[in-house]
Structure 1
Amino acid sequence: MRTRLIDSIDHAIERRLPEQRLFLKSDQGTRFIRLRPSTQAGILACASVVACWTFVVTAIFLMDTISAGNAREQAQRERNIYEARLNALSRERDHRAEEAAAAHERFYVALDQISEMQSALLASEDRRTELETGIEVIQTTLRRTMKERDSAREETEILTARLEGDTEGEAAIAKAKTVDGSVAFLTAALEETAAERDQIANDAQAAFDTAEELRFELKMNEERNNRIFQRLEEAVTVSLEPLDKMFRAAGMPTDSILREVRRGYSGQGGPLLPATMSTSGGGTITDGTSQRANRLLKELDRINLFRIAADKSPVAMPVKAAFRFTSPFGYRRDPKGAGRRMHAGVDFAGARGTPIYATADGVVTHAGWQSGYGKLVKIKHAFGIETRYAHNSTIRVKVGQRVSRGDRIGDMGATGRVTGTHLHYEVRLNGTPVNPMTYIKAGRDVF
C-alpha cells in the first residue's frame, strides 16, 4: 500500500521532477544513487524551509539591530539633553551663588553705612540740643539785660527831674554832683549793656543760622538714611523670601523651625559689673528711624536663623562626581519585575567607588547591612529629618559619629537588591519619606 502511494506520488510529479541518478566513481567501480521524484520533492521542501527560516531569522535580527540602534540613539539623545540640563542648572546655580554673594556684600556695606549715618544723626541731635539750650540761655540773659537797661533809664529820668526841680543852695549842688556821677555811671553801664546786647543779638543770630544749617543737614541725613533703609529693606526681602520659600517647599513649618533654632542659639552671659549712671542721657530712642532700624535688625536676625536652619537641612547633593539620574521619587515599575511599587527615594548611578557625602550636619544612627538596602548609612539631622544612603560598597563612618555636610560617609556600590551600581538616597521627615529633590532644588535656588 505504501509503495503504491509513493509510486503514485512519483508518477504525479515526474513531469516536473524526473527521476535523477547521481553517479559515484571510485577505484572499485562506478555506482549511482537513484533520486526518485518524491525524494527530490522532499529535498526541495527541506531546502525551502531552511531558506525561509534563514530569511525570517535574518529579518528579525536586522529589525532588532535597527531597533537597538534607534534605542541607543534615543538614549544618547536623552543623555545629552539631560547632561545639557545639568550643565545649565549648574551654571544657573553658580550664577545664583554669585548674585547671593554680591547681595550679601551690598547688604553688609549698606549696614556699615547705616551705622555711620546713625552715629552722625545722634551726634547732630546732641549738637542741636546743645545749641538750642545755648540759645535759650542767651535769650534769657538778653531779656534780663534789657529789663536792667529799662530800669536804669527810668532811674536816670527820675534823677534828672529831681535835679532840675531842686533849687536849694549847696546841698542841692552836692546832690546834683552826686546825681551827675550816678548819671555818668548809669550812662556807662547802659552803653556797656547795649554793647553786650548787640553782641548777644549777634551771637543769637549766629546760633539761629547754625541751628538752621543743622536742621538742613539733619533733613539731608534723614533723606539719605531713608534711601539706605530702602536699599537694606529690599536686600533683606530678596534674601528672606527664597529662604522662607525653600522650607515651605520642603514641607517644613518655618515658625517652629525658627523657634527651635532660636532656643538652640540663645546663650547670654558675662561677668556682673557694678551699676553705673550714664551722663549722656542714654534713654531709648523711639523715633521713626530707630523703629525702622529695629525692624530691620529683627529681619536680619530672622535671616540669620534661616541660614542656620539651612545649614542643618539636607539641601546639598550626596554625589559630586559624574552620575546619571536613573529613578525619581514616587511610584514606578519595579526594576526586578515586581510590578508597580512606591520608590521612597531617588537613584544616582555612577562608577563603583564614587564618593558619597553627607548632605547636612547630623549623627550617624545606623552603619551596616539592612535587607534590601544592602550596606546602609542613616544620619539623624535637626527638625526630625533623617537621610539614608543605601547600596554602598564601603561604609566610612560608625554609629554615634557626628558628621558635617560634605563629609565622606561611604562609596557607591551594588549591595542589596539592585540591578547595578548606584546610590539610593532617601530623606524622611518625622519618619515619612519625602522627595529629596525638593530639598536639593530648594538649596540650588538659594545658595
Structure 2
Amino acid sequence: MKMLGFAEKPTVLVVDDTADNLTLMAALLKDTYRVKVVNHGEKGLAVAASSTPPDLILLDIMMPQIDGYEVCRRLKANPATRDIPVIFLTAKSDDEAEEKGFELGAVDYITKPICPPILLARVHNHIALNVRTAMLHSLSNKLSRYLSPQVYKSIFEGDQDVSIQAVRKKLTIFFSDIKDFTRTSEGMQPEDLTYFLNSYFSEMSKIALEFGATIDKFVGDAILIFFGDPETRGVQEDALQCVRMAVAMQRRMHQLREIWRDKGDRQPFQIRIGINTGFCHVGNFGSDQRMDYTVIGSEVNLAARLEQNGEADGIIMSYETYALVKDEFDAHEREPLAAKGVSREIRCFVLRDIHAPDAPPDNLNQRYPGLRLSVDLDKLSGENRSRAVADLQKVIDSIQASTI
C-alpha cells in the first residue's frame, strides 16, 4: 500500500531499548511501512539525521543513558530533524508525563501495552498529516513567488485581509523600463530574449528586496515598485531607500552589460528610471474572484511619465522626491515636464554621478547630513581657486571652533 505523497512505503523508526517491543512494532508495521529499529537513543538520533531520515518516529520514554524526552528535545533542536513527527510510547500514563511530551514537540502519546489497531491508526494519521503539511508548505512557497515578500508575509500572518479595500498613503513610486526594448528584442532569438530578460528581472528583484521595496509587478519589460507599504520607515527614509536602490540597479546594469557582451549580446539592455513621491491608494483591487495588491493614482502615473522622459542609464525624479533626498544625493534640475493628465508643469531632477565608484574618504564630492561638498578642480583656477581655499579654511575653522 502506497500513501499519498510517497513513491514507496513511508519509513517508521522505532526507538526502544526492549527487544520484545522492537519485534512487536516491526511485525505490526512491516506490511504498510518500511521499519527501522534501534535500541538506543543515540542511535535513533543518528538515523533521524542521516541522508534517509524516517517519516515518523515511535519513541520509548524510559531508556537508559539518554531517555526519550532528551532524544525528542535534541530532535526538535536540530533543523534537519525537527519536522519529523514523534509519537511517544510509554507505560507512564499520568497527565504530567503526557504534558511534558507535548511541550517537547511530540505529536501523540501511546501508552503500553500497545493496542495494534490504535497504533496503526495513529501512525497512519500522523504520517498523512505530515504529508499534507509538507504539501501546503511547498504550495505556500510557490505562491510566495507571485507576491511581494511583504505582502505575502502580511497575508499569511493575518495582518492583511484578502478583501477588496485600499488605503491612502504617501508612497515613493519607482518605474523602470528597457530603452528601445521592442527594437532590441526584434533582433534576438526567443531563447536569448528569455534568458536576458529573466536575468535582468532576477538581478533587479534581488536589489529591490535588499532595500526593502515592495515589488508590484512586471509589465512587459517594465518594473513597478513602491516604498511605504505594507511596511514603512517613514516618508523620507522610504524615498532615500528608493533612490539608493535605483542607483544600485543602474550600477548593477553596468556590470551586467559586460557579462552579457561576453555572452555575445551585441545590444545589451539600458534602463531608464523614474521616481515620484506622493499620496496614492494602495491595497487590493479587482473582483471577488481575482484581485491584485497594487497602487493607483495620479502620482503613480507621474512616476511612469518621468521614466518615459528619462535618459538611458539615468534616474529622473520629481521635486517631491528630490526634496526628501537632496541632503544625500546630488541632482540637476532640467526643463519642466508637461505630462499628459497633469495640469501643472512637473519639476524634474536628474541624479548626478550614478556610475561613479563609491567615494573614498578624501574624495572631492561628499554628501551627508550637515555637509554638501562638490569640487571640480578642472573648472577651479586662478582667483577662484584662491577664493575657494579661503572659503574652505573658514569652514574648517568654524567646525573646529564648534567642537572645542
TM-score bucket of the superposed structures, by smaller chain: under 0.3
More strand by share: 2
TM-score when normalising by structure 2: 0.23
Larger Rg: 1
Higher relative contact order (CA 8 A, sep 6+): 1
TM-score when normalising by structure 1: 0.21
